[in-house]
Each structure stands twice: as C-alpha cells, then as structure tokens.
C-alpha cells in the first residue's frame, strides 16, 4: 500500500513538473485528487486495510494529497506568472508615440495676472468688489478730490458720454462707492476695465484693466502701506524682490508714492528690460486724502487708510514678457495657448 502511494505521489509530481499549461494541471488534479482519482481510489480501498493500520495509512494518503496539492498550487502560480509575463511582452508600446490630449483651453494672460493678485490679496483678508464701467463723473472725479475743471481730467483723456457720465478712467471710483456703503473697516481690491482715449499702439490701448486696492481702519499708516505692497511684490515676483517708494502726486492720496520693484529679469543689476536702472515701475499708491474721506462720509479724525492702483496689463506684459499690448486683444489662439 505504501509503495503504491509512493508511486502515485512520484508519478503525480513528475506529471505536474512536466506541465506547461494551466489546463494540464487541472487534468492532473482530476486524475489524482478527483472523485475517481487515483488517490481517492486508494482512500476508498481503506476498508481493505486492517483497522489498526488505518490511521497510519490515512495519514500517508493525506500527506500525499497535501504534497500533490501544494505542488499543484505552486506550479499553477508559476505558470500564471509566466503566462502574464508573456502577455506583457506582447503588449509593449512605443511610449514616444504622441499623447492623446483633451486640448483644454487657456486663460487670458490678464486673467492669470489677475488671479495671482486676487490670490495674494484675498489671502491677506481683502474682499473683491466690482463697480460700474460707465460711471458718474462725480464718482470718477469729484469724490476723488478732482473737482470740475481740474487739469487732471484732461490728463486722463476721458471718454465722455455726456457731461455727467463718463467711461471710468480708473478703478478708483469703486473706493468712493465702497466707502459710501459705510461698512468699516475696509480691505478690498477692485479689478476692472478702465478707458482712456489713447490711440492703439504697442504700449497703449484705449481700454485696459486696473486693480484698485483700499484699506481703511483706525491707525492705518504709511508704514502699513509699504509693508503690504512689499509683501505683495514678493509674492508676485519672488522672495528676493526689493521695492522702492518714490514720492509722487495723486489728487486722492496724500502722501502719495509710486512703487518700483527690483527688476526680476536681472535682479537689479540693470538690463535692457529695466532700461538699465535695475527698477521697474509697478504701481501708484498713497494715504487716502482726508478730503476724499469727507466726501465719502468717513470721519478722517477717526480713520486713516491707504489706496493703490495697479495696471493689470503692466503686470501681465512684464511678467509674461509680452512685447506688444495689441496681442492681448487680438485673441490669436497661438498667443493664448502659451498661457
């Protein structure tokens, strides 16, 4: 009996080892372990074994079965791996073939620049506020300390609808509108389209975008203005960006300043980009003029504030090194796809 078992075992293992396909393994399993399999047959003949030998023989049968099963399993795994490897060999692709893109669209460079500005200022707690593009003369000028007949009205080359209504020349009227709502403190930016009667050329456009900023609270100082805008410049142009404030004049702020940033192309050494000066003019700013406060219903004895205005195109042209403003309004997809 034992010999018979040994023989079956050896034969089974030999067959398993020789198998090259999963089907064949299955046949072997049926042939030895199936209901009519050889090992099962042996088990069935247990009744012919002396009762005292039965446990021992049973043990031997079970051992043989376990061994065969283990071998079957092992071989099955090996064969499956081999089959998969062969399959994968067949599936090799040329990874340098062209990509299948969804051809997503692109943002306008002005939008990219605006999103950067919004990200920075919203992060500092500023609300984004919008105002009308066709605006009362009163908001565009008078309430910003530019009284009727002020030469600044000519300087800004205003488009008039009639004597009371203009195409806004700046986003600053949103300052007046926000102050008039009376909710203080204020931290806001206001992006939008503005209009000045400049003929179209590489550096001028009769329609462009500004982003206005306004902070009003108790104890706001010029130092806060400097700190805020320096932080803005670092976030927009990089950690190493330096800023320089130069005295300037705007009717609606006093003191007023223009801010230059160190040239992000040459790092301030001077290059063609910054016309050799190492600095690039970015924005105008200042402390809100008390007369503006008075006209907009804010008490200048209690509140101070600062305001700034950035030309969005100026930022996008500089940041993306676009050399002709007209490209921004032609909408050639070959241009837009670069952003």
Partner 1 sequence: MNTALSWIKAYVPDLDVTPQEYTDAMTLSGTKVEGYTCLDKNLEKIVVGQITKIEPHPDATKLVVCQVDLGDDNIIQIVTGAPNVEVGQKIPVVLDGGKVAGGHDGGPMPEDGIAIKKGKLRGVDSNGMMCSIEELGSSRDMYPDAPENGIYILPADTPLGADAVEVLGLHDTVFEYEITSNRVDCYSVVGIAREAAATFDKPFYPPQVTATGNDEDIHDYLKVTVADPELCPRYCARMVKNIKLAPSPQWMQRRLAASGIRPINNLVDITNYVMEEYGQPMHAFDYDLLAGHEIIVKCAGDGDTFQTLDGQERKLDHTVLMINDGEKEVGIAGIMGGENSKITDDVKTMVFEAACFDGTNIRLSAKKIGLRTDASGKFEKGLDPNNAEEAINRACQLIEELGAGEVVGGIIDIYPNKKTEKRIPFDPDQINALLGTDVDEPTMLGYFQKLDLKFDAETREVIAPTFRQDLERPCDLAEEVARFYGYDNIPTTLPSGEATMGGLPYDLRIENVAKEIAQFSGFSQSMTYSFESPKVYDKLLIPADSPFRNAVEISNPLGEDFSIMRTLPLNGMLTSLSTNYNRRNKNVRLYELAKVYLPKALPLTELPDERQQFVLGAYGDVDFFHMKGVVEEFFDKAGMTKKVHYDPNAGLSCLHPGRQASIVYENTTVGYLGEIHPDVADNYKIGDKAYVAVLDLPSVLPYTSFDRKYEGIAKYPAVTRDISMVVPKEILVGQIEDMIRQRGGRILEDCSLFDIYEGAQILAGYKSVAYSITFRAKDHTLEEKEVSDVMKKILHGLSGMGIKLRE
Report the residue from 116, 138, 180, 231 that binds partner 1 according to the rule CB under 8 A: 231
Show contacts with partner 1 in window 318-337 (CB under 8 A): 328-334, 336-337
Decide whether 135 or 212 has the Cβ nearer to partner 1: 135
- The one among 103, 239, 321, 323 contacting partner 1 by CB under 8 A: 103
Q: Is position 204 an interface residue for partner 1 (rule: CB under 8 A)? A: no
Among 17, 95, 149, 272, binds partner 1 (CB under 8 A): 149
- Candidate residues 230, 266, 271, 322; the one interacting with partner 1 per rule CB under 8 A: 230
The answer to the question of residue 165 lying near partner 1 (CB under 8 A) is yes
Of these, 63, 74, 127, 299, which contacts partner 1 (CB under 8 A)? 127
Per CB under 8 A, 174 contacts partner 1: no
Q: Cis before residue 255, ω within 30 degrees of 0?
A: yes
The answer to the question of residue 28 lying near partner 1 (CB under 8 A) is no
Q: 306 has which bridge partners?
A: 215, 287
Strands (E) located in the chain: 127-128, 134-136, 165-167, 186-195, 207-217, 243-250, 253-262, 279-288, 304-311
Least Cα distance to 303 among 223, 225, 212, 221 occurs for 221
Residue 104 as a binder of partner 1 (CB under 8 A): the answer is yes
Query: Of these, 15, 19, 31, 133, which contacts partner 1 (CB under 8 A)?
Result: 133
Alpha carbons within 13 angstroms on the beta-carbon side of residue 107 total 10
DSSP 60-103: HHHHHHHHHHHHHHHHHHHHHHHHHHHHHHHT---TTSPP----
Please give the residues from 243 up to 272 whose contact with partner 1 meets the rule CB under 8 A.
244-249, 254-257
Judged by DSSP in three states, 245 sits in: strand
Query: Interface with partner 1 by CB under 8 A: which range of 28-36, 65-73, 84-92, 150-158?
Result: 150-158
User: Which residue of 41, 49, 224, 235 would you call a contact of partner 1, by CB under 8 A?
Assistant: 224
Q: For residue 247, with 0-12 CB atoms within 10 Å meaning exposed, 13-18 middle and 19 or more buried, which class applies?
A: exposed
User: Which span sits near partner 1 by CB under 8 A: 28-36, 38-46, 79-87, 96-104?
Assistant: 96-104
Beta carbons of 195 and 169 less than 8 angstroms apart: yes
Q: Is 4 in the site for partner 1 (CB under 8 A)?
A: no
Name the minimum Å distance from CB 54 to partner 1.
Answer: 53
User: At closest approach, how far in Å is the CB of 208 from partner 1?
Assistant: 10
Q: How many residues bind partner 1 (CB under 8 A)?
A: 83
Residues ≥6 apart with Cβ < 8 Å to 109: 316, 320, 322, 328, 339
Q: Which residue has the tokens 């010999």?
A: 3
Q: Strands 165-167 and 134-136, how do they pair?
A: antiparallel
User: In whole angstroms, how close is the CB of 141 to partner 1 at the nearest point?
Assistant: 14
Which CB atom, from 31 or from 136, has the smaller least distance to partner 1? 136
Give yes or no for residue 116 binding partner 1 (CB under 8 A): no
């Amino acid at each position: 009996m034992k010999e018979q078992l040994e023989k079956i075992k050896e034969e089974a293992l030999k067959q398993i080892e020789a198998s090259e396909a999963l089907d064949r393994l299955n046949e072997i399993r049926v042939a030895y372990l199936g209901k009519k399999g050889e090992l099962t047959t042996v088990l069935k003949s247990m009744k012919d074994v002396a009762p005292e030998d039965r446990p021992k023989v049973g043990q031997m049968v079970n051992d043989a079965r376990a061994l065969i099963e283990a071998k079957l399993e092992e071989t099955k795994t090996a064969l499956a791996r081999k089959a998969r490897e062969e399959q994968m060999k067949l599936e090799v692709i040329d990874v340098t073939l062209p990509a299948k893109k969804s051809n997503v669209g692109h943002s306008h460079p002005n939008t990219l620049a605006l999103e950067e500005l919004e990200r920075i200022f919203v992060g500092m707690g500023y609300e984004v506020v919008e105002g009308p593009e066709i605006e009362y003369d009163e908001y565009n000028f008078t309430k910003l300390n530019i009284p009727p007949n002020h030469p600044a009205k000519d300087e800004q080359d205003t488009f008039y609808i009639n004597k009371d209504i203009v195409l806004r020349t700046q986003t600053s009227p949103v300052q007046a509108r926000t102050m008039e709502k009376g909710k203080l403190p204020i931290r806001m930016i206001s992006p939008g389209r503005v209009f000045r009667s400049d003929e179209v050329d590489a550096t001028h456009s009769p329609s462009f975008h500004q982003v206005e900023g306004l902070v009003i609270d108790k104890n706001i100082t010029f130092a806060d203005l400097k700190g805020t805008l320096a932080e803005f410049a670092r976030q927009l142009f990089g950690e190493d960006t330096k800023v320089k404030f130069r005295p300037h004049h705007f009717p609606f702020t006093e003191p007023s300043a223009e801010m230059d940033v160190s040239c992000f192309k040459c790092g301030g050494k001077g290059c063609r980009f910054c016309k050799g000066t190492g600095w690039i003019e970015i924005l105008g700013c200042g402390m809100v003029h008390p007369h503006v406060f008075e006209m907009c219903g804010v008490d200048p004895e209690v509140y101070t504030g600062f305001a700034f205005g950035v030309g969005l195109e100026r930022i996008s042209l500089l940041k993306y090194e676009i050399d002709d403003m007209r490209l921004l309004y032609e909408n050639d997809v070959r241009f837009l796809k670069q952003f």
